[in-house]
Chains A and B, each alone.
Chain A
């Protein structure tokens, strides 16, 4: 059984259809890259999976259960499907350590000692244990994003969603974040990644989904999608290549 199965997802904003019948699935331990032009619905799709947006129609099956059903505890779902944002969204009023502990304490009800231990372990994993007492405003963009990843890892999520995690970073910082993500991939963390870093997506993703004007244009193993690109995907790749 797939860990995540999206069926016929539709979402509109003020009458404009952003997602038009999107379906795909993901197995445990896989990494899916969602590619597409700006406005193609990539981020909306991710936000629907994290329940930050409510789709108009369709189903999102997480471990076989439709998380859009009325009786589902949304907060519990979000604690198991975490999201890392482009703009980091670290809590400005808390230290790095507190950022990593708050959800553990309030959602998973872990003891202070356990939460601290897990937070420090994950901060060490992203190479930032020494920044535990720092405040987000004193960190570089790359460090902020690594803290955001550590914060999510502390929740032991079953799926980790990345919404353009490197778009707000300069090339050096992109490297920092990509290295951490590659490490997670090797550890078998299930990930869904929305990105414009085509080469990185190609390297890290086992599956690739190309969204074109709110519809699934191509979906399959990354190798196949890139080797036999559809017309729209080929023109997208050409455009991205010319921009880089």
Chain B
């Protein structure tokens, strides 16, 4: 049997599994990136906290703790592979008697471990997003916050209304990269039984013994997904920045 026939047979027999896998991958990448960005904003703000000379001791201690937590979290999460984090999370849960399959009902192929997968990818992305937002914040001209403060805006009003919107806008290309990385890297979550695209291909291949055809199909789906994501990001970029075009790399993220 040749490869073309294998592919046609796989698509005919397992199209539903591939579609569900695609839905799982999209769910993981979109929620992981979106919620990870929100957490990342707080991590970045935590890293920027500086205890001041005139602060009372409790404020100094609070700022120091938050700063330490943000830096430590970022170092640990960025210093270990997501696959290992997923396994640690799974067996950690099981050691504590938490089985996500027993807690949440399964919906088709999506079992309770999908929630665990969402938690892992979100917490992992948050660490990287923290760095992205931090560099965005550092890139905003100091004059912007001085201008706001000189008008009487408080520190938090200055941050949320003036500085953060500019930081996020500057960071859109990198945030987009994180999304593309998550589309591909969510495949490692199959190790804890999360139903996503690779998981679907793995099961289909083992069922049919058409390994090459299965993995070729998902390779093409991943490629189409990332190309479409690039297009979406480019359109968003053009809308926000006029005619300036962004380029997104397909490479792995670089640890800072």
Contacts and interface: CB of A to CB of B under 8 A. Distances in A.
Interface of A: 50, 52, 54, 75-80, 82-83, 85, 87-93, 102-103, 106-107, 148, 151-152, 155
Query: What 9 A-B pairs have minimum CB-CB distances, sorted nearest first?
Result: A79-B152, A89-B147, A103-B151, A107-B152, A89-B143, A83-B150, A78-B152, A75-B152, A93-B165
A82 B151 contact: yes
B149 interface: yes
Interface string B107-145: 000000000000000000000000000000000000110
B161 A106 contact: yes
Among B54, B154, B169, the one with the most A-chain Cβ atoms within 10 Å of its Cβ is: B154
Nearest to A104: B151
13 contacts: A75-B149, A75-B153, A76-B152, A78-B152, A79-B151, A82-B151, A83-B150, A87-B143, A88-B143, A89-B150, A92-B144, A93-B166, A102-B153
A47 to B, nearest CB: 9
Interface of B: 54, 143-144, 146-154, 157, 161-162, 165-166, 169
B146 A52 contact: yes
Contact of A89 (B144, B154, B161, B169): B144
A83 B149 CA distance: 10
A91 B148 contact: yes
Contact of B161 (A78, A80, A102, A148): A102
A87 B150 CA distance: 13
A116 to B, nearest CB: 17
Given A89-B143, A92-B166, A93-B165, A107 B153 contact: yes
Contact of A78 (B54, B149, B162): B149
A91 B154 contact: no
Nearest to B152: A79
Contacts of A52: 146, 149-150
